[in-house]
Amino acid sequence: METPEPVVWSFDRLLAENLPAAVVWSTPSVRGRSESTLSYRHRTPLAGLDEDTRTLIVIGGGTLLDAAKIFRHEHAAKVTLIAIPSIWGSGAESSPIALATGPDGRKVIRMGPEYLPDVRVFWLELADSVPLRLARHACGDAWSHALEGFLSPLASEDLLSRGASVLSSMLDLPIGPDPRWFEASADACRLQSQSSVGLVHGIAHTLEGPLRAAQPEFGWGHAALCSTFLWPVLSLALGASERAGHRLRDAGIDPGRISEIARALFDPEAYDRALPFLVTHWRSVLRDPCTRTNGVVVRPSTLDYFQRRELRD
């Protein structure tokens, strides 16, 4: 299945363009840098657009990019959308998927060409300004996309071949800030958008709202949840059946190496904080569409696995 993709511009090309009636929405952490670099009107994100706006440049994480995609679709369909990620991981700048928050706080997936940015730009220097904790979570988000897409029961032979290449290139990257993550993350997102994600995302979509509400001081978000649950879910996949291990080995990927990376991303404190919520919301996790396309069958009794002591010590 061919997935539509945005036009790719370099950052130099963006600087060289003279975009008519352009407006910039940027996330607060990069606003100063954006204002001093891009000579377009800067406006408060999501607060509306000037009537004459023809191009919207959005610089931010996955949440802001997704919100801008939804805003453009609902309020400004004729405006050209240029997406610049301020951090890697979500792949929102390259995907026709937008996550909206439902009235109950759960994430709702919207998908369609109307949610695809017209242009995506990587501003590589922004990697320097990503704090280490957020960078680790972003790496966990990207690894979750790549691994769940690769291990998905919906992955085609062609996708497995490309997936092996994506995983191999990610193995060369550090867990931390590195501008190469922008491209790798987009590749990982493309992979999962052509197959599916799995239990890591089923958990993240279900628990993000409740955890944000209950533990606002901890900074829960989608990427933090992906990082927290990637290693337990991967261990489950490698232990529950031979399929995941075979698929990785057949692609020339050492499952042990992948496990080491997932383990390095694991935060026991975050896991302990999230576990009671997993227990409470387990039935919802089981019903989540992502969970139902996981690489191994997720059963009601799978919850016992997540409560094992060895995952918490």
The sign of the CA dihedral 295, 224, 185, 38 is: positive
CB of 291 to another protein, least distance (A): 9
| Contact predicate 174/195, CB 8 Å | no
Per CB under 8 A, residues contacting another protein are: 153-154, 240-241, 243, 283, 286-287, 289, 292-293, 295-297, 299-301
Supply the minimum distance, in Å, between the C-beta of residue 201 and another protein: 13
Closer Cβ to another protein, 14 or 199, answer by number: 199
Residue 217 has phi, psi (to 5 degrees) of: -75, -15
CB of 220 to another protein, least distance (A): 27
Tokens representing residue 45 in the block? 């994100």
Instruction: Report the C-alpha gap between 122 and 6 in whole angstroms.
Output: 12
What is the closest distance, in whole angstroms, from the C-beta atom of residue 300 to another protein in the complex?
Answer: 6
Q: Take residue 311 and report the two structure tokens written for it.
A: 């995952």
| Residue closer to another protein, measured from CB, 216 or 300 | 300
> CA-based diameter of the chain, in Å?
59
| 59 DSSP β-pair partners | 26, 84
Residue 101's φ and ψ, nearest 5 degrees, are -100, 125
Please report how close the Cβ of residue 193 comes to another protein at its closest, in angstroms: 16
Give whichever of 304 and 313 is closer to another protein, judged by the CB atom: 304
Quick one: 107 or 136, whose CB is closer to another protein? Answer: 107
Q: Which is nearer to another protein, 151 or 204 (CB)?
A: 151
